[in-house]
Every structure is written in C-alpha cells, then in structure tokens.
Amino acid sequence: MHQERIEIRVPESKAKERIDVFLARQIAYVSRSQIKKLIKEGSITVDGTAVKQNYNVRPNDCITILVPKAAEHEPVKPQNIPIDILFEDDYLLVVNKPAGMVVHPAVGHRDGTLVNAILGHNQNIAEIGDNLRPGLVHRIDKDTSGILVIAKNNYVHACLAKLFAEKDIEREYIAFVWRDVRKNSQTVSTYINRHAKDRKKMAVAKQGKFAITNFYVQKRYTLVTMMRCILDTGRTHQIRVHAAHIGHPVVGDHTYGGRGRNLGGLNRELTAFGVRILELMQRQALHAHKLGFVHPGTKKYLQFSVDFPEDMKQLHEFLERDYNGETNEHI
C-alpha cells in the first residue's frame, strides 16, 4: 500500500495535549479515529519510537505519520450529468444537489452520484482527497437537497476541512417537522451513535459522537412547523435524529418516523390533510438552504443560499394557502 509520510515538530510553546487530539488539529484531512487507528498500527512515531494514543506531546517532539493513501478501489468514472453550479473559481466549486442524488459512490451506488457528475465537469478533482470522495469535505443525505462545497486542490481541501472541524462555517437547513413546536428556539445536544438493532440508522445514545443542533421556529402551520436548523456539528443524519428525539420528526422521513405514525388520533378532515402533506412530500422535507465561509484563497467571506426544490416548494405553498384560509382541506 502506498503511504504518505508527514513530519510535524511540536512547537516550543505547546501546552500538554494528547497526541491524537493534537494531530487531529494539525492534519485537516485525517480524522481523529483514523489517527487512533494509525497509532495502534504503529504508523505514528515520536522521535522514532511508537507511542500510545494517550501520549502527551512535548515541546520539540518530532512526530512522523505514515498515512496510507486512499484504498485502490476502481476509480470513480466521470459522467456527463447536469449539475447546478452556484459558484466556481480556480479554488473551489459550490453546487446545489438535488434530492435523490447520492453524494459519492458506495455499495449499490457505483455511478450516477454527485461525484461522478463533478468529475464529468472537471476530471482533475479526482486527485483531491479520498479517491471515492474526491474534493468532498462534507456530505448531505441522498434525499436531502441543497448546497455543497467541493475543493479543487489539496490546500483548499485541507483549509475547508479545518473550517468544518473548528465550526468556522455557516450551515443552515430548513426543515418541515410534524406538529406544533412550542419553543421558539431550542438547542439539542446529545451523543449520536449507530442504532443498536438497525445499523443503517443512527440514534441518540449515551456515548458516540457529540452533536449539537439549534432549532428555530420560522412558522407554524396546521400539523406542521417550519424550522431553521443551524448546525454546530455535522454528524450522520443529525438533524433528522434530533428532530425525532424532541418529538417532531421531519415530514416525510421514512427512517425516523416522519410518515404515517404522525396521523394517529386525528379527526377525518385532519387525517386527510396529513395524507395530502405526505403525498406532496415523498422524501424528508429537509433542505441545506445556506452555506457561508471564508474563501481559502481570496480570504473573502462567501455566502450562498438556494430556494426550495419543487417538492418542498409545493408543500410550502400548500401550507401557506391553508394558513391564509384559501383551502378547504380540513375543518
């Protein structure tokens, strides 16, 4: 396996810190879990000696890291798939991903992904970062729509990854959730881990990855509340898991209780109204609406926002008509 050799000298002024924490801050494109694995494998040494992950770095330590290059999978093939480009320069690409498109190849999704489309647009991005996720520094779920940023060189990739790791990036989602959310704003802070019985799902847990989501009510409709969701962390399915955790699953969410179970106990008219909502929203009503960050090259602040895709637009218009008394869908 090909390896990349990285050498880092600890600054003289460095305070006591575990080596895995220190290296996670220093190497933006290698996660802390990967660093722990490399330590266990003996691929990280200090002054030529292998150490344990609880080793505390000292001033002037010379740390050597042997990072395996991305596994040699079959290269992702470029495909001529239209993409909605919001911004592009020599450094990065900002796109609006449609719902239903997988972000990168995985089991069962070898092509037709956003990465295939990006490489069809610019094949040079194939050399940036992980060879299955070239250029990517963050992801959104297949059935979530909205904004993603893609790096066009390794320097930008590392800079953007650091922004995400240090929470110096603005990420705002819009979600339609079931029922009347009483609190105008609330912050949900939990650990998130794999579901104990269903490994395809995530769940709030006693241990795992710490996750923080800030929810703000935008408008309350019949059966549904529109929410702004601002992330402090970016965990798998985070908004969907936290919304379900507070008793307000995202409308249409097949995985976390966003479909039929929310219609129990309603009268006939309200049940019909809820059914119509689900007819309009066949996937989770979640949209990555806004993204803002300091451009790694120009150092200027960039902010992007995109309107709802067609299905969420139809849902929003339907709820607005009812709110303004223009429908007779229910009593």
Nearest to 175 by CA among 92, 93, 241: 241
141 is catalytic: yes
Q: Beta strand pairing status for 185-194 and 209-220?
A: antiparallel
Distance, CA of 135 to CA of 148 (rounded, Å): 11
User: How far is it, in rounded angstroms, from Cα 102 to Cα 100?
Assistant: 7
Q: Which amino acid is at 121?
A: H
Q: Give one DSSP letter per residue of 163-175, joined into a string.
A: HHHTT-SEEEEEE
CB atoms under 10 Å from CB of 25, counted, come to 12
Neighbours of 55 (CB within 10 A): 18
- Among candidate residues 141, 253, 311, 322, the one labeled active-site is 141
User: Which whole-number Å values give the CA distances from 310 to 165, 235, 290, in the listed order?
Assistant: 32, 26, 17
DSSP 188-213: EEEEEEE-SS-TTSEEEESSSEEEEE
Residue 246 DSSP symbol? T
Is residue 239 within a helix (H) or strand (E), and if so which, with residue range? helix 238-245
Q: Are 302 and 289 in contact (CB under 8 A)?
A: no
Indicate which residues carry an active-site annotation.
141
